[in-house]
Each structure stands twice: as structure tokens, then as C-alpha cells.
Amino acid sequence: MTNVDAIQKAIEAHTGWKARLRTAVSGGVFEVPAATVKLDNQCEFGRWLYGTEIASADKQTEHYRTAKRLHAQFHLEAAKVVEWATSGQKQKAEEALGLEGGYTKISRELTQEMIKWRESLR
């Protein structure tokens, strides 16, 4: 898979997280434990980021370093939402998913960076 394809798939996959998290908030359950969600190397994009498919030189770029950092932060924020949603702290979870919430901000920032990275490769 090319870098462009992997990044595009990641954009699409990470965009779907908000709907999954909203479902968790409304139902109080999530299919994956928060401790697993927190790990940024378990999703397909994370395995690709940490894997051997990306050339060493590409891993030295600012886009790679920024995307990796933001991706880790994204997973931390998503894990918080899962934790709050599944432990009865619905208000905290909803705030994180709101327009100015921590999850929403990092999700937006990650998506913007992945788009910049993808465009730099074309």
C-alpha cells in the first residue's frame, strides 16, 4: 500500500470514530476496552505508522512526526471518552465530543495534518 493510500484510509477510519463514540455515550458500552483504545499502535493506521512499510527517510519528515504525535493524542482522547461513557460519566464524554471538546479538537487537528501529509506526497 502506498503512503497516500494508507493515509487516505486512516482519514476515513478516524472520521468514523466520532459516531462510534456517540453510540458508546448513549448506550454506556463500547466494543473495545479504554485501555486498548488508548494504544496508538493497535489500529490499522497505527500499525502502519510503527511498521516497516514507511521508509526510514519518510519517518524523519515533519509530517510523519506530527501525524504520529497527533495520532497518539487522538487515541488518548478517544480512550477518555470510552472510559467516561462506560463508567456513567456521560456529561464528561459528551463535552469531549462537543465542538470545543478535547476529542473533537484533536480529531480535527489529526485529520488536517493527515490531509496535508497526503497532499505533500502527490
Cβ-contact 34, 75 below 8 angstroms: no
Long-range contacts (CB closer than 8 Å, 24 or more residues apart) made by 80-83: 80/34, 81/21, 81/24, 81/25, 82/21, 82/24, 82/30, 82/32, 82/33, 82/34, 82/37, 83/34
> Given a cut of 70, is residue 56 above it in pLDDT?
yes
Averaged over 91-118, what is the pLDDT?
A: 96
Which pLDDT score is estimated for 19?
A: 93
Q: Using 50, 70 and 90 to split pLDDT, how confident is the model at 15?
A: confident
Q: What CATH number is associated with residue 32?
A: 1.20.120
Q: What is the DSSP letter of 60?
A: G
The cell 463514540 sits on which residue? 21
Domain range for 77: 3-120
- Tens-digit pLDDT profile for residues 99-108: 999 999 999 9
> Which is nearest to 98 in space by CA: 122, 77, 70?
77
69 closest CA partner among 13, 20, 117:
117
How many domains does one find in the chain? Answer: 1
Cell of 25: 455515550
Supply the mean pLDDT for the chain: 93
Give the pLDDT confidence score for residue 1 in this predicted structure.
55
In contact, 118 and 66? CB cutoff 8 Å = no
Question: What pLDDT band is residue 121 in, cutting at 50, 70 and 90?
Answer: confident
**Residue 99's CB: how many other CB atoms inside 10 A?**
7
Region 44-71: mean pLDDT is 92
Whether the full predicted model's pTM is greater than 0.85, yes or no, is: yes
Q: Quote the percentage of the chain above a pLDDT of 70.
A: 98
